[in-house]
């Protein structure tokens, strides 16, 4: 809760920490594009603040896009403002981004829609995606939403129209592709555990308590034959569930294909793994 409130405060202060640098950066622009840029910045800031005060998975996706874009905008303002203003803007935007992408915010977004007596623990974003595809998708989404209106305001009608017609639908598609990353959870429920991961599973799967032999921490990349590995290349926060009876999972293979996998060993990468195991023990799950 403290981490979430710190994020809210830092985000609320962004107009003070970054506003001067952004004003300097757009001062040489003509009136129309400068005003459009102001509207976009204020809208993004307000949407991020709303997402922090009303946490939801869609809000987490929004923050994961606009927070890095804010850092990029602050960095681009360096040549247009004073050193002090640039450093303040970069520090404020970077602090807001780090906190917005932190575990407390993701946990609040996940548990905001929890049903009854359940607790959701966020799964780590796959490392291979973090090293390339996600930053590229975030940059393209930010560019797709903003380029068209700015070009139209600058009087570049043809280029602006093309950017709107192509860029905004492309940005919406990228947001849709990124959103499943905000809905990946290990869920503790009264009956046992559930795994919700639209990136790797066709639907959430419940594993009843009487089928769970043990849940434990593991840092090893190697798993026994027949194990279902949903870590997607990420070993941080490794958790292995050993089952006393086989359980069926609908494993995605690309966007259109899937197969049913029956396994007695399940491997996950959980952000707050130790806390998840402690809560599992409290619920009489062998951990």
- For the chain, the structural domain boundaries read 2-181, 190-282
Q: What 3-state DSSP class applies to 276? A: helix
In this prediction, residue 75 carries a pLDDT of: 92
- Whether 7 has a pLDDT exceeding 80, the answer reads yes
Residue among 120, 66, 59 nearest 93 (CA): 66
Report how far Cα 118 is from the mean position of its chain's Cα atoms. Answer: 21
3-state DSSP assignment of residue 27: coil
HEC string of 113-160?
A: CCCCCCEEEEECCCHHHHCCHHHHHHHHHHHHHHHHHHHHHCCCHHHH
Contacts of 286 (CB under 8 A, 6+ apart): 212, 213, 214, 215
| pLDDT band of 97, cuts 50, 70, 90 | very high
**What is the rounded average pLDDT of the residues 27-45?**
92
d(CA 168, CA 156): 17
Confidence of residue 31 (pLDDT cuts 50, 70, 90): confident
Convert 236-251 to b/e letters by CB count within 10 Å (16 or more is b). ebbbbbebeeebebeb
CB-based contact 10:61 (threshold 8 Å): no
Give the dihedral of Cα atoms 163, 168, 173, 179; nearest 10 deg: 130
Please report the pLDDT score of residue 124 as a whole number: 94
136 or 258: which carries more pLDDT confidence? 136
Express as a percent the part of the chain with pLDDT over 90.
61
Q: Residue 261: pLDDT above 90?
A: no
DSSP character for 125? Answer: P
Q: How far apart are CA 184 and CA 248, in angstroms?
A: 18
Q: What is the dihedral of CA 278, 280, 281, 282, to 10 degrees?
A: 90
**What pLDDT does 82 receive?**
86
Q: What is the pLDDT of residue 3?
A: 86
Alpha carbon distance 281, 241 (integer Å): 13
SS3 249: strand
Residue 220 pLDDT class (50, 70, 90 cuts): confident
Segment among 104-108, 198-202, 235-239, 254-258 with least mean pLDDT: 254-258
Q: Are 202 and 258 in contact (CB under 8 A)?
A: yes
Q: How is residue 246 written in tokens? A: 């086989």
Which of these ranges, 57-61, 138-142, 254-258, has the smallest mean pLDDT? 254-258
Token pair belonging to 191: 């009956």
Contact call for residues 79 and 31 (beta carbons, < 8 A): no
pLDDT at 159 over 70: yes
- Beta-carbon contacts of 63 under 8 Å, excluding residues fewer than 6 positions away, are 48, 51, 52, 100, 101, 105
- pLDDT surpassing 80 at residue 254: no
List, for residues 162-178, the tens digit of each pLDDT value.
999 999 999 999 999 99
**pLDDT of 164:** 92
Per-residue pLDDT at 2? 87
Q: Could you tell me what percent of the chain has a pLDDT over 70? A: 99
Write out the two tokens for 284. Answer: 């009489």
Q: What's the mean pLDDT when you consider all of the chain?
A: 91
Does the structure show a pLDDT above 70 at 287?
A: no
């Amino acid at each position: 809760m403290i981490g979430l409130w710190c994020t809210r405060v830092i985000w609320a202060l962004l107009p003070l920490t970054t506003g001067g640098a952004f004003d300097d950066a757009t001062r040489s622009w003509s009136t129309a594009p400068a005003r459009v840029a102001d509207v976009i910045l204020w809208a993004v800031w307000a949407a991020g603040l709303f997402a922090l005060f009303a946490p939801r998975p869609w809000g987490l996706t929004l923050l994961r896009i606009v927070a890095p874009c804010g850092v990029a905008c602050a960095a681009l303002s360096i040549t247009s403002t004073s050193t002090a203003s640039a450093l303040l803007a970069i520090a404020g935007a970077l602090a807001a981004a780090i906190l917005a992408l932190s575990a407390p915010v993701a946990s609040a977004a996940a548990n905001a829609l929890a049903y009854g007596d359940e607790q959701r623990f966020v799964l780590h974003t796959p490392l291979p995606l973090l090293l390339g595809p996600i930053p590229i998708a975030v940059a393209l989404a930010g560019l797709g939403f903003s380029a068209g209106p700015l070009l139209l305001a600058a009087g570049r009608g043809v280029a602006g129209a093309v950017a709107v017609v192509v860029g905004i639908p492309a940005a919406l598609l990228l947001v849709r592709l990124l959103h499943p990353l905000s809905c990946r959870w290990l869920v503790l429920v009264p009956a046992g555990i559930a795994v919700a991961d639209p990136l790797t599973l066709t639907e959430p799967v419940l594993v009843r308590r009487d089928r769970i032999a043990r849940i434990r921490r593991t840092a090893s990349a190697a798993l026994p034959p027949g194990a279902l590995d949903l870590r997607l290349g990420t070993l941080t926060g490794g958790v292995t569930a050993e089952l006393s009876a086989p359980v069926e999972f609908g494993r995605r293979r690309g966007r259109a294909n899937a197969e049913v996998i029956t396994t007695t060993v399940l491997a996950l990468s959980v952000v707050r793994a130790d806390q998840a195991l402690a809560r599992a023990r409290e619920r009489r799950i062998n951990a």
